[in-house]
Amino acid sequence: MRKEEVRDADRSHERNAILAEIGRIITSTPTIEEVYHLFAQQVGRILPFDRIAINIVRKGTGRVSSQFVAG
């Protein structure tokens, strides 16, 4: 394998590990606020951001409410 292929494989492995950790956080964390916070931390490892927001769109009304903001 070329160095670039090895680096790409390592990056892919790291992303998969982070996605697995996000899945674990979602299924095992007791409070939704903690889930949001830990989710943001993990997402920041693979997709750096200045600000992240989680919004909910209410079915039927289409009303949007902000559930979590960091950054």
Q: Are 14 and 46 in contact, with CB atoms under 8 Å apart?
A: yes
Using the structure block, give the residue that is written with the tokens 């960091």: 70
User: What are 37-70's pLDDT values in tens digits?
Assistant: 999 999 999 999 999 999 999 999 999 999 999 9
Structural tokens at position 20: 């697995």
- What is the pTM for the complete model shown? 0.74
Tell me the HSE value of 53 on the side-chain side, using a 13 A CA sphere: 6
Cα→Cα distances 31→36, 38, 40, Å: 9, 11, 14
Range(s) of the domain holding residue 21: 3-70
Cα–Cα distance measured from residue 41 to residue 47, given in angstroms and rounded to the nearest whole number: 10
Query: How many domains is the chain partitioned into structurally?
Result: 1
Q: 57: which strand partners?
A: 64
pLDDT above 70: residue 1: no
> Confidence class of residue 36 from pLDDT cuts 50, 70 and 90?
very high
